[in-house]
Every structure is written in structure tokens, then in C-alpha cells.
Amino acid sequence: METVIGVMGGSGIYEIDGLENAEWRTIDSPFGAPSDDLLFGTLNGVKMVFLPRHGRGHKQSPSTVNYRANIDAMKRAGVTDVISVSACGSFREEMAPGDFVIVDQFIDRTFAREKSFFGSGCVAHVSVAHPTCPRLSAACLEAATAEGITVHNGGTYLAMEGPQFSTLAESKMYRESWGCDVIGMTNMPEAKLAREAELCYASVAMITDYDSWHPDHGEVDVTKIIETLMGNSGKAKGMVARLPALLGTERELCPHGCDRALEYAIMTQDPHRDPELVAKLDAVAGRVL
């Protein structure tokens, strides 16, 4: 199978430098409009597709991003491996602004978003016990390290609804009682949907601040966040540029089964499936339907 790297760019990342034959294309999805057109190209000999999660110009808030359409569009574009790059706050002193975290767990506290491609008429249950792909995460770790980025391997990401930042009480609870490492607003339900779409998914969280728990840093300062964000953006582009050499032009089946997540997940028997919903699932679940 040919490798096609998909990059979901978060705040501050609205394009990828160095893409050859770069072309923005509109990809229609039966789940609605994606955040923007998708940027197709080749980076260091490997096909790449880029989607700015908030749209160029940052038009979408975390709650209005159409996560289903974004993941469906990536699948329709032939993407095999999704790299999520997003800004986050830190709950750990040693995870400082400017550092990156290779996330491996999530706590989903979002509530205003569609979280599954499936539903009445075609029910499916996938496992997200390990919601990121270890193979893809390891490549991101190696690329970030080679780029000279201070990167932490592993961490739990608290996904909040937003768009407001945490209260002090919430920040302390997430840090002290729940044991979270970073906090953001966009990786859920994105990671769950990527698993339903049988896409390998890795999350690279770029720290911009200490949320509101840190006694020496006070509440979140948006001006400082933007300043750190711009520095992180350059680092992220350098990391992404190293991924093609690590992932190669051809890929085998995922050793962790991400690309076979739907193998036994669909519960609704064939005669009882809703034809309209099944038609919408042609890209996401076409392999098993």
C-alpha cells in the first residue's frame, strides 16, 4: 500500500512548507463541509495531504469544526496515516511552553460534537483503549527529536469543549485528581473518528502555556500564547518535513491493527442496515460494508 501522510494542522499551522506540486482541492463529504479545502502535494518523495483544522484564517472554533467531515475527507483523499498537530496547555512543570508531547491517552470532556460516523441503522463499536498508533507516534517522536525539539513521549490529553479556557478549580482537578498532562480542545472526537475510519492516528501536542494552575504563571495570557504558538509552528513544520523519510513511500498493514479497527465492530445485521447511512459510510467503512 502506498503511504499518504495526512496532517491536521491546528492553531498557527495553515499550510505546509516545501510541498511539491501543491494544489488545494475541494473534497465533498456526505457528513457536511470540511474545515477547508485540502492541500495535496508531495514532500520528499511521499504523498501528503494537509487540512487546516480551523480553516485558513482560523474561521472555525473547536466546537464548530466538523470533525466527521474532516476525517471522512482525509479518508476519501487516500490518506493512510493522520498526524494531528495542535496547541495545548500543560499541567506539568517539566512540560514547558515550547515543548511537544506525543499524546497516547485522552479523557474526553467534550459534549457539543458528533462523535461517531455510525448510529441508528448501522451500529458499530470500535476499541479506543489505545487511541493513538504506536508506530506512527514513534515516527513523530523520532522526527521531533531529530529536529531538536524538546519532546515528551507519552501523556494524557484532557479534551475540553471550550472555547473558554479552564477555571482554576477545573485546572487543579484535571492536574491533581485526574492525572492529566496536557489540555486542549480539538483532539476529541477526532481521534475516535480516525479509529472508526481505520486510519492510523498520532497526536503531537504543542505546549503554549501552563493553563491556570501554575502559581507563578497565573491565568492564561492569550498574547503570550500567540507568541509561543508562532515559535511552535516553525518547529512543527520542521518535524513534519522529517516524517516522509521515516515512514517511506510504501507501508505494510499496521502492526497494531488501526487499519482493521472495523473488522468485527459493526453490529447491525445486513438486512437491517439503513441504506442511506450505509451509502454515507462508503469511504469510512467501505472495506467492511
- Active-site positions read 209, 211
Query: Helix (H, G, I), strand (E, B), or coil: what is residue 90?
Result: strand
Torsion sign (Cα): 40, 232, 133, 59 = negative
* Cell (9 digits) for 45: 518523495
Distance of alpha carbon 51 from alpha carbon 34, whole angstroms: 9
The three cell numbers locating residue 114: 458528533
User: Which stretch of DSSP H or E encloses residue 239?
Assistant: helix 222-247
Nearest one of 138, 161, 147, 136 to 8, comparing CA atoms: 136
DSSP string, 243-256: HHHHH-SB----TT
CA distance from start to end of the chain: 20
Cite the DSSP H helix spans in the chain: 67-76, 134-146, 168-172, 190-196, 222-247, 275-280
CA distance 202 to 109: 19
Before 163, cis peptide (omega within 30)? yes
